C-alpha cells in the first residue's frame, strides 16, 4: 500500500512562474533605465528577495510545511543577515581607527585648553 503525497494545483505554479517573469522584468528595467546610488541597489535587493521568497515558498514547498520547520530553516539566515548588518555599521569605525593607528592620517591632536 503506497502513501499518496499532497498535490497542489498546477495553476499556483504557473501564476508564480509568471510573477517571477514580471519581477525579473522590473529587475532588468532598473539597469536599463539607469537608476544610480542607493535607489538602484535597494530595488535590486528588493526584487532579489521577492524572487527568492516566491521560489522558496512555492517551488520548494515551504508554504505547505509546518511552522516549526519554516522557522528552523528561515531564522538562521535572518540572524546572519542581522549580524552582517551590524558588522557593516561598525566597519567605518574599525577602518578609521586602523588609518589612525598605522599613521596614514593627517589628523593632528590638539592640546587641551589651559584654564
The pLDDT > 70 percentage for the chain reads 89
Q: 22 and 54: one domain?
A: yes
Q: 53 and 89: one domain?
A: no
* Spatial separation of the C-alpha atoms in residues 85 and 91, rounded to whole Å: 10
pLDDT of residue 2: 54
Q: What is the pLDDT of residues 67-79, one digit of tens each?
A: 888 888 889 989 9
Contacts of 61 (CB under 8 A, 6+ apart): 8
Residues of the chain with pLDDT under 70: 1-6, 103-109
In a domain, 110, yes or no: no
Nearest one of 30, 54, 34 to 43, comparing CA atoms: 30
In a domain, 78, yes or no: yes
pLDDT of residue 45: 93
Domain containing 42: what range?
8-64
In a domain, 96, yes or no: yes
pLDDT of residue 18: 96
pLDDT of residue 65: 84
pLDDT of residue 3: 57
Q: 59 and 82: one domain?
A: no
* Spatial separation of the C-alpha atoms in residues 26 and 52, rounded to whole Å: 15
pLDDT of residue 105: 62
Total domains present in the chain: 2
pLDDT of residue 112: 79
In a domain, 14, yes or no: yes
pLDDT of residue 40: 93
Q: 59 and 14: one domain?
A: yes
Q: 56 and 85: one domain?
A: no
pLDDT of residue 47: 95
Amino acid at each position: 500500500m503506497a502513501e499518496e503525497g499532497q498535490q497542489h494545483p498546477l495553476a499556483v505554479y504557473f501564476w508564480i512562474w509568471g510573477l517571477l517573469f514580471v519581477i525579473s522584468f522590473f529587475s532588468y528595467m532598473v539597469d536599463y533605465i539607469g537608476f544610480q546610488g542607493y535607489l538602484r541597489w535597494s530595488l535590486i535587493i528588493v526584487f532579489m528577495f521577492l524572487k527568492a521568497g516566491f521560489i522558496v515558498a512555492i517551488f520548494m514547498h515551504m508554504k505547505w510545511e509546518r511552522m516549526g520547520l519554516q522557522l528552523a530553516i528561515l531564522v538562521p539566515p535572518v540572524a546572519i543577515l542581522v549580524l552582517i548588518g551590524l558588522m557593516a555599521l561598525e566597519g567605518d569605525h574599525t577602518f578609521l581607527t586602523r588609518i589612525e593607528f598605522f599613521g596614514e592620517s593627517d589628523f593632528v591632536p590638539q592640546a587641551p585648553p589651559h584654564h
